[in-house]
Amino acid sequence: MADDPDSDMLSWDESVFRNEHVFEIDYVPETFLHRESQMENLKYALKPAVRGSRPLNVVAQGPPGTGKTTAVQILFDELRAQTDIQAARVNCQVNSTRYAVFSRLFEGVFDYEPPSSGISFKKLFSQVTDKLVEDDEVLVVALDDVNYLFYESEASDTLYSLLRAHEEQGGAKIGVIVVSSDLDLDIIEELDGRVQSVFRPEDVYFSKYDEPAIVEILRERVARGFHDGVVESPVLDRVAELTAEQGGDLRVGIDLLRRAGLNAEMRASRTVERQDVEEAYDTSKYIHLSRRLGELSDSEAALVEVIAEHDGEQAGAIYDVFNDRTGLGYTRYSEIINKIDQLGIIDATYTDVDGRGRSRELTLNYDADAVIERL
């Protein structure tokens, strides 16, 4: 009934979502919009692999949330479905050492994990390359978020082993796609000379999405993820506007849609309203912060917490508090500062201190209360 006061309310077994998985981080869209040229460039680089040769290497860079990982996932799915090429994507946030990377490659080549202990890197490496030669297969490796290998000073050794594999094991054919969202990282410049001499990559750049593109991409997600009529155009436009404010990072917009939908359900409403979006934005705008904090070790998180509590103070004073809490020395303290600075959680800038030379001042790039809450 049109005048039924409950007609716009959800019952217990109803949802605004048609398919909530559409808004999860690991969802690969069926329609990949506004990345046609990047996909063509990636396919061009991998074309030799289809003919049984080593593919061209690639550096894929761009701001966060611009489709780099999705492009690799779609491309690798096509390779696995249509060719005999081995394709392995390694998340370097989680696997940030050379040994960890090759453990994932072993798992990809053999379809089971290597022993958790008792196997040297040399043996791990030789088993992977021997298998490729034995099966006469090409391996394409995507080092996703490769910047984490640089933060741990593991990038040069990892790439050297991959790029020189054909010298260690004749006939081994490996191509590398390195993916990075750190625009301040000059990948080639930061590599050892021994790696630079053999790493001649194709450059594929993923520019940030403009607002019309954001609207179109998010509208596709809305159509697949929500029931008809749940998200009207004015609400979608507001989501796109807020996403553009966060650098055009689609992950913010997708997370915002999901949280807004959950807010609507909390109100037992059949539609997502602007108020649901505004309330969700307070959480979604910190999506990068939450992920980065979640990747930190206990000692790294402890230092971030100390900085949040002493925001803007000089490094020496912060070290004293950090040392009291963790017992860790100044060398490790300095290493952690460098890492969380590279991650964009803080700014570490040198300032002149009267009578004491230069010292680093540590400043959060986020609201201190938001950091502490998420820790």
- Considering the domain architecture, whether residues 232 and 340 belong to the same structural domain is answered as no
Residue 25 domain-assigned (yes or no) = no
pLDDT at 1: 39
What's the number of domains the chain is made of?
Answer: 3
Do the Cβ atoms of 253 and 239 come closer than 8 Å? yes
pLDDT at 260: 98
The CATH number that applies at residue 368 is 1.10.10.10
Calculated CA dihedral for residues 348, 352, 357, 361, nearest 10 degrees: -20
Q: Which of 347, 319, 354, 349 is nearest to 333 (CA)?
A: 319
Residue 157 domain-assigned (yes or no) = yes
C-beta neighbour count of 350 within 10 angstroms: 11
- Considering the domain architecture, whether residues 237 and 252 belong to the same structural domain is answered as yes
Provide the residue range defining the domain that includes 330: 295-374
Question: 């492009």: which residue's tokens?
Answer: 71
pLDDT digits (tens, 9 = 90+) for 23-33: 998 899 999 99
Calculated CA dihedral for residues 42, 44, 45, 50, nearest 10 degrees: 110
What number is the average pLDDT over the span 36-44?
98
- Considering the domain architecture, whether residues 130 and 187 belong to the same structural domain is answered as yes
What number is the average pLDDT over the span 234-246?
96
- Considering the domain architecture, whether residues 321 and 200 belong to the same structural domain is answered as no
pLDDT at 357: 61
- Considering the domain architecture, whether residues 156 and 216 belong to the same structural domain is answered as no
Q: Which of 150, 226, 236 is nearest to 192 (CA)?
A: 150
pLDDT digits (tens, 9 = 90+) for 268-302: 999 999 999 999 999 998 988 888 888 888 999 99
Residue 325 domain-assigned (yes or no) = yes
Q: Which of 239, 319, 320, 335 is nearest to 285 (CA)?
A: 239
pLDDT at 2: 45
pLDDT digits (tens, 9 = 90+) for 295-335: 888 999 999 999 999 887 777 889 999 999 999 999 999 88
- Considering the domain architecture, whether residues 301 and 279 belong to the same structural domain is answered as no
Euclidean distance between CA atoms 309 and 182, whole angstroms: 27
- Considering the domain architecture, whether residues 275 and 302 belong to the same structural domain is answered as no
Q: What b-and-e string marks burial along 6-24, b requiring 16 or more CB atoms within 10 Å of the CB?
A: eeeebeeeeebbeeeebbe
In whole angstroms, how far apart are CA 36 and each of 43, 59, 68, 349? Answer: 11, 17, 12, 40
pLDDT digits (tens, 9 = 90+) for 188-200: 999 999 999 999 9
- Considering the domain architecture, whether residues 199 and 164 belong to the same structural domain is answered as yes
Euclidean distance between CA atoms 175 and 76, whole angstroms: 13
pLDDT at 325: 93
- Considering the domain architecture, whether residues 44 and 168 belong to the same structural domain is answered as yes
The CATH number that applies at residue 279 is 1.10.8.60
Residue 5 domain-assigned (yes or no) = no
- Considering the domain architecture, whether residues 200 and 261 belong to the same structural domain is answered as no
Q: What does DSSP say about strands 138-144 and 173-180: parallel, antiparallel, or unpaired?
A: parallel
Residue 28 domain-assigned (yes or no) = no
Residue 23 domain-assigned (yes or no) = no
**Domain end residue (candidates: 285, 310, 334):** 285
Euclidean distance between CA atoms 10 and 300, whole angstroms: 44
- Considering the domain architecture, whether residues 41 and 170 belong to the same structural domain is answered as yes
Q: Which of 43, 104, 97, 34 is nearest to 65 (CA)?
A: 34
Express as a percent the part of the chain with pLDDT over 70: 96
User: Which contiguous run of DSSP H or E holds residue 10?
Assistant: none
What number is the average pLDDT over the span 155-171?
94
Q: 89: helix, coil or strand?
A: strand
**Domain end residue (candidates: 260, 285, 310):** 285
Euclidean distance between CA atoms 164 and 201, whole angstroms: 15
- Considering the domain architecture, whether residues 198 and 213 belong to the same structural domain is answered as no
Euclidean distance between CA atoms 152 and 99, whole angstroms: 13
User: Which residues neighbour 119 within 8 Å (Cβ) at sequence distance 6 or greater?
Assistant: none
Residue 191 domain-assigned (yes or no) = yes
Q: What b-and-e string marks burial along 180-191, b requiring 16 or more CB atoms within 10 Å of the CB?
A: bbbeebebeeeb
Q: Which of 89, 145, 101 is nearest to 288 (CA)?
A: 145
Euclidean distance between CA atoms 97 and 152, whole angstroms: 7
Express as a percent the part of the chain with pLDDT over 90: 76
Residue 2 domain-assigned (yes or no) = no
**Domain end residue (candidates: 176, 205, 234):** 205
- On the CB side of 47, CA atoms within 13 Å amount to 8
The CATH number that applies at residue 170 is 3.40.50.300
